[in-house]
Structure 1
């Protein structure tokens, strides 16, 4: 027993630091963990590739610097090392090693959702930390020929444990955002990590035999301590300040891009940021044709009894489950993948329409939402014409929907692209009309085929005469310009009746049915739709025939007159 105790005492020649020094180092280490966690979170929340690269590089540099500063400060805790003076060259070399190892591993630790990759990156960062420490402490070591095997094994295990624990806790917090409950690391986690860092540092200084200095040797430990602390605080403060500005910039970017595609999706940090970052992590696997399913919602012209369908994206991931389509499209915008996604959706929708025509829907028409970047892409119109020909579909069966923000903000190039589409028979609709800031006068200048009134018009429509008057005038003006008008978001027969009284008969909404899978469309069109239309007309007091069910479609005037009298 004595020999074991004697050997242990020799292996751990440097005693544990005094209580006050240990307490101060523990607090400092916990604050460093807090700063590192904030930086890792910021990198994880970045979505577009440029922001991820910049955030990852800056976070890695800052983490490397503050961890280096923590290591240097820790060397001043031990009474046995009080007479040593830290060498400038070894210290700077250790800083370079620490920053480089952080740069190679922090991006993976912050963005990966795979435990194996997190553990591998944690091991790499731990090895870098050990190498940096051994370089910094070069002036203290008497010989590298002898190594304390127990201390180095314990130190390596502790370092990997700290990085893996904090990273996997970060991953767990990130994954909890899928249930809209984001639980970041709590302070007890950071204090636990700080205590582990204190033990780790003590193990590291006992890894190699030390050269005991002359007790009379001068020391500038206090000055060095102040310099290192100021350096670490300056780096951390600057990076955290930049992080706040970058968060605001990214939120503005996401808001602007969401307006170009849709006006209804809002990102609510931190849950929304984390969900978008998770989608970005899974994007390569999601950008497969079998992952992008389409549902279709009818757009009904009650005057003519005609039905066309809007293609609506549905995305599902094994890891993330059902993904909000607009969140997915926003990530694609930020990643520069929008043209690819839109082309995949268009090809999918054309395939569905081609199958419908083979199942009795000879005149099937459909519309697809696209982003401005897709229409502005070089060669889009010829590609679309070739795909329509390959599926044996006329251009008139397809309409492309763009938000009013996209049409107005994209300028002359967008007008030229729309005219190219008109040349092949494909019309463009202004989606979400009325949700933005476009003027009615612009309808005369835009070469579009029609407008889709935003669901905001339908809210409280039956009780608000002003909304009714607004819709009536919008419909009349669009008719003067030769534009079709579709009203979205209609859910009740009362809203349907009010719209008919306003002279609007092309309707989309739950009043007819919810979006359905492509395979269900032919059956719905042949059986359920005639029954639903007959029920609605009976409910609204209409005597017109039911299209597709043996009756003749109602004339426009007759439909509007009967609906008006029904009110």
Structure 2
């Protein structure tokens, strides 16, 4: 301990910089922290792997450059180093080391969900930055044998704390969208980091015994100082501008992909953060047990029986309730859509098989799938094997796809649907009317039916134009031999209006909310027939049965 203290007192030969120089460096360091945080955030909010790699590479290069510039500018604070000229090879070596260390650690610091991995990456980043500093100041060192152990230990601890704590706070700021106890990083945090960097730089300068100049002499490095500052500012401004452009490009990409599965969720900054959080945890979420399914009944009041549509429901201990549309969009961006679709299909078929054992025979389930899943040549054989494995006839399953996907993919999708139809699995057009319908293609599509989007039902009893539109859709579908289901029916008035139009197959809360898979048999045996009878009574001519006549049996099954 005495030896360490003696070494420290001998090696702290460079005094703390004067007040004005310290203040200017402090401001510059705080701005550098702000820019670095924005760059890391941009990398973290990217979702697809390609964007993450590109963003991480650009962010690492920029962070390496501006931290290098900050380090070089800091050398001008000390009067003892006034006459030392920065040597080209050591300076460029330091720049290379800082850029490489940032490139190796920024992906983990920006996207990892593990605090342990963040700390390890913070240690590597700190070690790389310190090594880069020592490379820059190589020509200033008088003797590498005279080491200030206290200074180097304090420097390493400070650098690791800055890197790891800032990254963990960044993760906390992302989670603040879901967990209120976290708060976003503020300018007070950045100013504190800037002060820590000022002290860190002074300790680094005093790590080894240096060649000291005359403090009273005049510095001849003003031109170099201005050049380095201009370089740092230009790199930061250029990258910030590119960041805004890239954010716009990624948002357009997400909008385009979200059209492949109809989505009513708005695209905004909050949703972008939720997308990136789901992407960070996707490896953990992509397991069958996490993909819980609820089933919403589809009833045709002119035919017997009931169908069910499988609806994804997800809840995570860290992320809370996860919007299924958001989760599926992340899977699309990450290239995991075929994998997750197959997991959902297996879960749905397992549920149908389990219902058979409880007396639900001839049950039909509908599952929404993405176009990339159907276009895979191996999908149809795989689906045939899964049905055979469970002893389920192909008619058990119906596949649903949005009209955007079916129409946009044209002949390829038509061929894929024909293959499925040949094995007995029919395809329906989901969310009809919610996007860019093409009536010209409707005659050529080998689909079994259409599901009218809930937009048609909005204010339907009072809207004669919507009633007329649905009447024409019903007539057109009948001419083509297509069945029609109307989604989102929530009130008895809407149901009666649809019946008057001639549409009797509906899906919505007026009949039942989505039901957990395990509760479907109980609902079917005890609630389905009374609810159906009650609603059919209300579809009689006006005045025969008042709305208030609904019996208690229409209450949802336990657990809903």
RMSD: 2.0
Task: Decide whether aligned partners of structure 1 residues 176 and 215 sit closer, same or farther in structure 2, where only a CA change above 3 A counts.
Answer: closer
**Preserved CA contact (<8 Å) 1:404 1:436:** yes
CA distance in 2, matches of 1:183, 1:4: 40
CA distance in 2, matches of 1:6, 1:341: 63
- So what's the TM-score if we normalise by structure 1? 0.92
Q: How many pairs does the alignment contain? A: 542
**Preserved CA contact (<8 Å) 1:261 1:402:** yes
Q: In the TM superposition, what whole-angstrom CA distance separates every residue of 1:394-435 from its partner, at most 9, and x where no partner exists?
A: 212211110011011112111110110110111111111011
- In structure 1, stretches of 5+ residues that fail to align are 545-567
1:8 Cα offset (Å): 5.6
- So what's the TM-score if we normalise by structure 2? 0.93
1:214 Cα offset (Å): 6.1
CA distance in 1, matches of 2:386, 2:26: 65
Residues 336-415 of structure 1 correspond to what in structure 2 (within 5 A)?
336-415=335-414
**Could you say which residue in structure 1 is the equivalent of 2:45?**
45
CA distance in 1, matches of 2:405, 2:476: 22
1:329 aligns with 2:328: yes
**Could you say which residue in structure 1 is the equivalent of 2:521?**
522
CA distance in 2, matches of 1:179, 1:25: 36
Q: In the TM superposition, what whole-angstrom CA distance separates every residue of 1:368-400 from its partner, at most 9, and x where no partner exists?
A: 000000011122111111211112112122111
**Could you say which residue in structure 2 is the equivalent of 1:169?**
169
Task: Decide whether aligned partners of structure 1 residues 13 and 362 sit closer, same or farther in structure 2, where only a CA change above 3 A counts.
Answer: same
**Preserved CA contact (<8 Å) 1:85 1:219:** no
1:318 Cα offset (Å): 2.4
**Could you say which residue in structure 1 is the equivalent of 2:425?**
426
**Preserved CA contact (<8 Å) 2:80 2:215:** no
Task: Decide whether aligned partners of structure 1 residues 522 and 60 sit closer, same or farther in structure 2, where only a CA change above 3 A counts.
Answer: same
**Could you say which residue in structure 1 is the equivalent of 2:451?**
452
CA distance in 2, matches of 1:146, 1:504: 89
2:147 is paired with a residue whose SS is coil
- In structure 2, stretches of 5+ residues that fail to align are 546-560
Task: Decide whether aligned partners of structure 1 residues 180 and 529 sit closer, same or farther in structure 2, where only a CA change above 3 A counts.
Answer: farther
**Preserved CA contact (<8 Å) 2:367 2:398:** yes
**Preserved CA contact (<8 Å) 2:82 2:214:** no
Task: Return 181-190 or 412-421, whichever deviates more.
Answer: 181-190
**Could you say which residue in structure 2 is the equivalent of 1:549?**
none
1:212 is paired with a residue whose SS is coil
**Preserved CA contact (<8 Å) 1:258 1:265:** no
Q: In the TM superposition, what whole-angstrom CA distance separates every residue of 1:194-219 from its partner, at most 9, and x where no partner exists?
A: 11100100000011111123679885
Q: In the TM superposition, what whole-angstrom CA distance separates every residue of 1:50-79 from its partner, at most 9, and x where no partner exists?
A: 111111111111101100000000001100
1:518 Cα offset (Å): 1.1
Q: In the TM superposition, what whole-angstrom CA distance separates every residue of 1:69-126 from its partner, at most 9, and x where no partner exists?
A: 0000000110000010011000000011111111111111111122211111111111
**Could you say which residue in structure 2 is the equivalent of 1:289?**
288
Task: Decide whether aligned partners of structure 1 residues 41 and 432 sit closer, same or farther in structure 2, where only a CA change above 3 A counts.
Answer: same
1:182 Cα offset (Å): 8.5
1:183 Cα offset (Å): 4.7
Residues 177-188 of structure 1 correspond to what in structure 2 (within 5 A)?
177-179=177-179, 183-188=183-188
2:145 is paired with a residue whose SS is coil
CA distance in 2, matches of 1:84, 1:355: 80
**Could you say which residue in structure 2 is the equivalent of 1:239?**
239
2:22 is paired with a residue whose SS is helix
CA distance in 1, matches of 2:51, 2:329: 15
**Could you say which residue in structure 2 is the equivalent of 1:471?**
470
1:249 aligns with 2:249: yes
CA distance in 2, matches of 1:203, 1:459: 68
Task: Decide whether aligned partners of structure 1 residues 258 and 296 sit closer, same or farther in structure 2, where only a CA change above 3 A counts.
Answer: same
1:184 Cα offset (Å): 3.2
1:303 is paired with a residue whose SS is coil
**Could you say which residue in structure 2 is the equivalent of 1:548?**
none
CA distance in 1, matches of 2:237, 2:182: 25
Task: Return 103-112 or 260-269, whichever deviates more.
Answer: 260-269
**Could you say which residue in structure 2 is the equivalent of 1:258?**
258
CA distance in 1, matches of 2:456, 2:51: 38
1:290 Cα offset (Å): 1.1
CA distance in 1, matches of 2:216, 2:491: 91
1:470 Cα offset (Å): 0.6
1:144 is paired with a residue whose SS is strand
**Could you say which residue in structure 1 is the equivalent of 2:550?**
none
CA distance in 1, matches of 2:388, 2:427: 19
**Preserved CA contact (<8 Å) 2:8 2:149:** no
1:491 is paired with a residue whose SS is coil
CA distance in 2, matches of 1:48, 1:32: 27
1:537 Cα offset (Å): 2.6
1:163 Cα offset (Å): 1.2
CA distance in 2, matches of 1:515, 1:393: 23
**Could you say which residue in structure 2 is the equivalent of 1:92?**
92
**Preserved CA contact (<8 Å) 1:368 1:401:** yes
CA distance in 2, matches of 1:297, 1:460: 22
CA distance in 1, matches of 2:420, 2:138: 71
Q: In the TM superposition, what whole-angstrom CA distance separates every residue of 1:201-246 from its partner, at most 9, and x where no partner exists?
A: 0000011111123679885411111111111112111111111111
Task: Decide whether aligned partners of structure 1 residues 540 and 181 sit closer, same or farther in structure 2, where only a CA change above 3 A counts.
Answer: farther
CA distance in 2, matches of 1:438, 1:5: 79
Residues 190-269 of structure 1 correspond to what in structure 2 (within 5 A)?
190-213=190-213, 220-269=220-269
CA distance in 2, matches of 1:358, 1:164: 54
Task: Return 113-122 or 168-177, whichever deviates more.
Answer: 113-122
2:260 is paired with a residue whose SS is helix
CA distance in 2, matches of 1:8, 1:149: 7
**Preserved CA contact (<8 Å) 2:102 2:125:** yes
**Preserved CA contact (<8 Å) 1:84 1:217:** no
1:344 Cα offset (Å): 0.9
Task: Decide whether aligned partners of structure 1 residues 217 and 21 sit closer, same or farther in structure 2, where only a CA change above 3 A counts.
Answer: closer
Task: Decide whether aligned partners of structure 1 residues 185 and 4 sit closer, same or farther in structure 2, where only a CA change above 3 A counts.
Answer: closer
CA distance in 1, matches of 2:106, 2:417: 45
1:306 Cα offset (Å): 2.4
CA distance in 2, matches of 1:4, 1:398: 75
CA distance in 2, matches of 1:4, 1:93: 30
